[in-house]
Amino acid sequence: MAKRLFDILLSALGLLLLSPLLLAIALWVKLDSPGPALFKQQRVGRHGRPFAIHKFRTMRIDAPALGPQITIGADPRITRSGATLRRYKLDELPQLWDVLRGAMSLVGPRPEVARYVVLYPDELRQLVLSVRPGITDLASIEYRDEGAVLARSSDPERSYVEEVMPAKLALAAQYVRTQSLAGDLRLILRTIKAIWGG
């Protein structure tokens, strides 16, 4: 209950204070390339229920037909505005709405698409999906340059499934087992430092 109240207060405050920035980014995305400002995708949420996650669009509108769901290195599908938004994680800001409406939390395991969730070991799947997915978590910090790492692989999707995903899943499970409000605050501060502090 305390975590949910924490999420509601901070996400509402964030949406209010950042509304001019959100509008400016939406306009930038629209002017930079054809298509909507927002991108929606089905992810797997708490207790395995699917939900629509919201982001600022960072790719061409035909991106799904041109490549895999994972993003690899300097992906040519990424727009000019999208490159900057991804670098500073500004594309994730619309997820404050997902937090406010109860589909996500500020801190929690990052939600995956269904095709990867079915590959989770049964015990870990049950544990990780027992909480709301989050905008950030320890795995998001440790693997914030995931695309560059996968770009060095001869088979990026296989490397993701066999190496990156299990490591991120272990960190997600660690979070679920040890979560606390104090820990959430520390992770939020670490995320800000990782993105803006170099």
DSSP H stretches of helix in the chain = 2-32, 63-66, 80-87, 95-100, 114-117, 122-128, 138-142, 146-151, 156-159, 165-178, 181-196
pLDDT of residue 76: 84
Q: Residue 198: its pLDDT value, please?
A: 56
pLDDT of residue 73: 64
Residue 155 structure tokens: 């088979």
DSSP conformation class of 59: B
The pLDDT score that the predictor gives to residue 157 is 85
| Bridge partner residues of 40 (DSSP) | 54
For 53, list phi and psi in degrees, rounded to 5. -90, 145
As given in the structure block, the two tokens for residue 167 are 């490591």
Q: What is the pTM of this model?
A: 0.91
Average pLDDT, 10 consecutive residues per value, the chain (198 residues) = 94 97 97 95 97 96 73 81 93 98 97 95 96 95 80 84 92 96 95 81
DSSP-derived letter for residue 110 is P
Position of tokens 């269904």? 114
